[in-house]
Amino acid sequence: MSALKTDHAPSPRTVPDRARPGHRGDRRPGRGRASSAGGQLHAGRITYAVLIVVTVIALFPLFWTAVAASRNNTRLSENPPPFWFGGNLFKNLEIAWTDANMGLALFNTAIVAGSIAIGTVLFGTIAGFAFAKLRFRFRNLLLLLTIGTMMVPPQLSVVPLFMAIAELEWTNQLQAVILPTFVSAFGVFFMRQYLLEALPTELIEAARVDGASSLRILWHVVFPAARPAMAVLGMLTFVMAWNDFFWPIIALTQQNPTVQVALTGLGRGYIPDQSVIMAGALLGTLPLLLILTLFGKQIVGGIMQGAVKG
């Protein structure tokens, strides 16, 4: 699998070769020049203009988070609102860091999201391989069950999960957040779809003929073949787990929070300092934005890959 693949895929050719305003009516069927143009259509000025506007809208709230985090509460309750950075960024970051326990929160979130990503990828790959390439009784039934529960709202299991962790005295401990999402039906389904195509059945048969055990095949054939999809699933899961909100806020408290739980705590004071809240939001978002800028191409490719096959 290549994340790049989609970038230059030949795409539908349409009649006019440029999006030109004012030339709408000037279109006749099968005009020679246009139909022999070939390849992908170039974007016109309007397309760029729209995309740039959308990009600005997509990025502006993030930019403004940083702007607000660099001001103070008084400046934020004045008109017009600030559009550029002030000088309070580091002070606010420091307050958020200590008040909301941000250091601990980031550390906790990294552990939680990392463990969930590892669990989802590892067990998703192994089970996905079995569902894609091995024969066993009840295979289809079990697969159907797995896919079916993807539709079930997480709220449905919150009450008993809460009772269970209360019983186990896991409240406020990280395993209470990690274990319930340690494996995911989506992960199994995602890996199955990928391995169905990416892993030739002959390769497994050849390994069997050579006398390889199932574990050896898993290690030497399946894992290498699945690596690209494992990376994508890992990143997607990491992002999801990092941003997860509903269950952590129930299972944890401000004493041992994840980033999202800590953020809600920041917003709930009597006279909340908005600039400090924004500094906290910035701290909680930056790691993921960093990952997105580093692996953006792969993540985008992964989402698109999953969409075509899923």
Residues between 186 and 245 that touch another protein (CB under 8 A): 188, 201-202, 204-205, 208-209, 211, 213-215, 218, 239, 242-243, 245
Q: Does 53 bind another protein (CB under 8 A)?
A: no
Give the x/- contact pattern for another protein in 89-118, rule: CB under 8 A: ------------------------------
- Closest approach of another protein to the CB of residue 284, in Å: 5
Out of 2, 47, 253, 255, the only residue in the binding site for another protein (CB under 8 A) is 47
In which region does residue 42 sit, left (phi positive, over 0), alpha (psi from -120 to 50) or beta (all else)?
Answer: beta
- Closest approach of another protein to the CB of residue 153, in Å: 5
CA distance 129 to 133: 6
Nearer of residues 80 and 87 to another protein, judged by Cβ: 80
Q: Does 81 bind another protein (CB under 8 A)?
A: yes
Contact 275, 86 (CB under 8 A): no
Q: Does 144 bind another protein (CB under 8 A)?
A: no
Q: Does 297 bind another protein (CB under 8 A)?
A: yes
Q: Does 151 bind another protein (CB under 8 A)?
A: yes
> Buried b vs exposed e over 119-142: b needs ≥16 C-beta within 10 Å?
bbbbbbbbbbbbbbbeeeeeeeee
Considering only residues 152-181, where is the footprint of another protein by CB under 8 A?
152-164, 166-167, 179-181
CA distance 275 to 73: 6
CA distance 299 to 271: 39
Over its C-alpha atoms, the chain yields an Rg (Å, rounded) of: 25
Q: Does 80 bind another protein (CB under 8 A)?
A: yes
- Closest approach of another protein to the CB of residue 304, in Å: 4
Contact 185, 149 (CB under 8 A): yes
Q: Does 73 bind another protein (CB under 8 A)?
A: no
Contact 104, 255 (CB under 8 A): no
